């Protein structure tokens, strides 16, 4: 996974430090040298030589081979256009009179409004399994899905997630999103996290940013900057968007930056 970021030679320290998580902000798997951390990532895997590599080169054109073309519409960022698998920029590119027509073209765009496809709304999921698995699609997306969804067993319907409406049993399924506090399900915070679970919590109106946590004197609290994270916590607590290098927790940088810089020098001085 390649990260497209503008190179900045220093970091700003913010009072409220949260991180917007998108595919484009993730570290390259090749940057992750720790085998255990590589294996625990959703995006990386160890190859036969125990090198950390991408689970999948997430490029829609990869699926243009006829043997795997059928997978295109099942991926949240791709859709079939004139027999080719291409990147989906906006759901309104797709037309459909029903939710199912839209969903069959892109799982991202499963809601039909006035014959135009829109981001999939929770109530568009009619199946409990699809509703519950949608949480993984909402995260790490450049465009965004909308709300986090959960399956309401009382009315057999997929709805926008509100932790206070979720049962205690279901609450435990939403790791880093919801927590049980005083025998009630509530939105997760670092302060309410146990020392064992002190990593990060999802925040934001669409739960698309994370607040990294840090353990201090045995108490979990908000991390206010990358400087507070040690080598063990740097990558995990920033959800694979920071890496520990040269005794510092630093934001992953565009991996070809130095090659680009060298190329620029060659062009300028030739």
The string of pLDDT tens digits covering residues 41-58 is 766 888 878 888 876 555
- Residue 27 DSSP code: P
Q: Give alpha helix (H) positions in 5-98.
A: 35-40
The predicted model gives 100-121 an average pLDDT of: 87
Instruction: Look up tokens 């430090």; give the residue.
Output: 17
Look at residue 196 and give its three-state secondary structure: helix
Asked whether the beta carbons of 39 and 53 are under 8 A apart, the reply is: no
Instruction: Provide the pLDDT for residue 12.
Output: 37
Distances from the Cα of 190 to the Cαs of 123, 147, 217, in angstroms?
A: 30, 21, 14
Token pair in block for residue 154: 């009382």
pTM over 0.75: no
Of residues 73 and 103, more confidently modeled:
103
Query: Is pLDDT above 50 for 13?
Result: no
Evaluate whether 13 touches 21 at the Cβ level (below 8 Å).
Answer: no
pLDDT at 197 over 90: yes
Q: What phi and psi, each to the nearest 5 degrees, are found at residue 116? A: -120, 135
Average pLDDT of the residues in 221-234 = 94
Q: Pick from 117, 70, 123, 68: which is nearest to 97 by CA?
A: 117
Rounded average pLDDT over 242-250? 89
Q: E strand or H helix at 104, and its extent?
A: helix 99-105
The whole-angstrom separation of Cα 261 and Cα 250 is 20
What pLDDT score was predicted for residue 267? 33
């Amino acid at each position: 996974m390649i990260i497209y970021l503008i190179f900045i030679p220093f970091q700003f320290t913010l009072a409220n430090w949260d991180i917007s998580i998108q595919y484009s902000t993730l570290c390259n798997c090749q940057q992750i040298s720790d085998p255990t951390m590589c294996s625990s990532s959703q995006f990386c895997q160890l190859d036969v030589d125990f090198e950390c590599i991408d689970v999948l080169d997430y490029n829609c054109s990869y699926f243009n081979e006829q043997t795997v073309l059928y997978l295109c519409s099942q991926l949240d960022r791709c859709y079939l256009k004139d027999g080719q698998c291409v990147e989906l920029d906006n759901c309104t590119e797709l037309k459909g009179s029903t939710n199912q027509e839209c969903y069959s073209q892109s799982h991202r765009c499963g809601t039909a409004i006035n014959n135009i496809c829109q981001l999939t709304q929770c109530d568009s999921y009619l199946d409990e399994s699809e509703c519950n698995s949608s949480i993984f699609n909402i995260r790490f997306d450049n465009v965004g899905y909308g709300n986090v969804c959960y399956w309401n067993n009382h009315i057999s319907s997929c709805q926008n997630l509100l932790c206070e409406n979720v049962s205690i049993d279901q609450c435990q399924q939403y790791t880093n999103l919801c927590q049980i506090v005083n025998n009630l399900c509530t939105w997760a915070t670092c302060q309410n996290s146990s020392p064992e679970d002190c990593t990060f919590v999802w925040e934001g109106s669409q739960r698309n940013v994370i607040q990294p946590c840090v353990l201090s004197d045995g108490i979990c609290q908000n991390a206010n900057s990358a400087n507070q994270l040690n080598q063990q916590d740097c990558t995990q607590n920033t959800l694979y968007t920071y890496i520990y290098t040269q005794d510092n927790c630093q934001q992953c940088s565009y991996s070809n930056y130095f090659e680009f810089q060298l190329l620029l020098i060659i062009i300028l001085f030739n």
